[in-house]
Structure 1
Amino acid sequence: MSMMLGDILALAKASAPGMAKWLESSSPEMHGQVRATAAAAGLTATGFVRMAVADFSRAASEEDWATLMSALRDSGDPGQTCLHAMIHWRLAASDCGSHF
């Protein structure tokens, strides 16, 4: 299933459980990281995924967006690339100690 940026953002608002299931099938390793990070923060994996997309769209720097756009341009599956990049960004932010 290929998703576009608008689809990802709409799905984040409407159906985080669907997005978490999609992540589990597209990247089991990342899904495991999301589950562990979410549990440590007292969140569900679906809540973390939704938060990752919302936080990226709200707080990512111009450089983060430029990096994402470059990755999307070169991607065979822009939706997957977008979701993975936003979650990776949020996981990295979680490690800095200033989040949650």
Structure 2
Amino acid sequence: MLLGDIIRDFSQEAKATEALLCCNDVSLLVRVGESAERYREAVGEYAAGAVRRFANLATSEDWLSLMNVIERAHDPGISCLAMMIKWSLKQDEAAVPVQSGCTCGGGGGCS
């Protein structure tokens, strides 16, 4: 499966879920669902954003790791997708949580 085809289908919730299921990682699907809910996005919307965030924010080391994953993968598109989403989830989970009742967006300005 080609990564471009996968990302293009993310606008359809069923296709996005299918692509995530192809990763054969139920915990990844659950984590994406939780993060999508947290950010008030559809699963496909979150997954597509995760790929864009990786493309825009990943370090050289992250890209090298991705190339190694792709080189060894049976299905490079799915493996690439899974790694990009896991990277993005890790970034999101490390972010400062928004305090209850806070409207600042989690920038740390609340007291």
Which category of TM-score, normalised to the shorter sequence, fits these structures? 0.7 to 0.9
C-alpha displacement at 1:53, in angstroms?
0.9
Note the aligned Cα RMSD (angstroms).
Answer: 2.0
Query: 2:35–2:89: 8 Å Cα contact kept in structure 1?
Result: yes
1:21-73 superposed Cα distances (whole Å, 9 cap, x missing partner): 22124332211110011101211111100101111111111110000001111
Query: 1:9–1:53: 8 Å Cα contact kept in structure 2?
Result: no
Aligned residues: 94
Query: 2:16–2:43: 8 Å Cα contact kept in structure 1?
Result: no
Which of 56, 59, 62 does residue 58 from structure 1 map onto? Answer: 56
1:87 corresponding residue in structure 2: 85
Higher helix share: 1
Q: Bigger relative contact order, structure 1 or 2, given CA contacts below 8 A and separation 6+?
A: 1
Q: Which deviates more from structure 2 when the two are superposed, residues 63-72 or residues 37-46?
A: 37-46
2:68 corresponding residue in structure 1: 70
1:9 corresponding residue in structure 2: 4
C-alpha displacement at 1:9, in angstroms?
3.4
C-alpha displacement at 1:98, in angstroms?
5.6
Of structures 1 and 2, the larger Rg is shown by: 2
Runs of 4+ with >6 A deviation: none
Quick one: which amino acid aligns to residue 3 of structure 2?
I
Which blocks of at least 5 consecutive residues in structure 1 are unaligned? none
Q: Is 1:23 aligned with 2:17?
A: no
Query: Which secondary structure state, in structure 2, belongs to the residue aligned with residue 15 of structure 1?
Result: helix
Query: 2:70–2:79: 8 Å Cα contact kept in structure 1?
Result: yes
Could you state the TM-score of these two structures normalised by the residue count of structure 2? 0.74
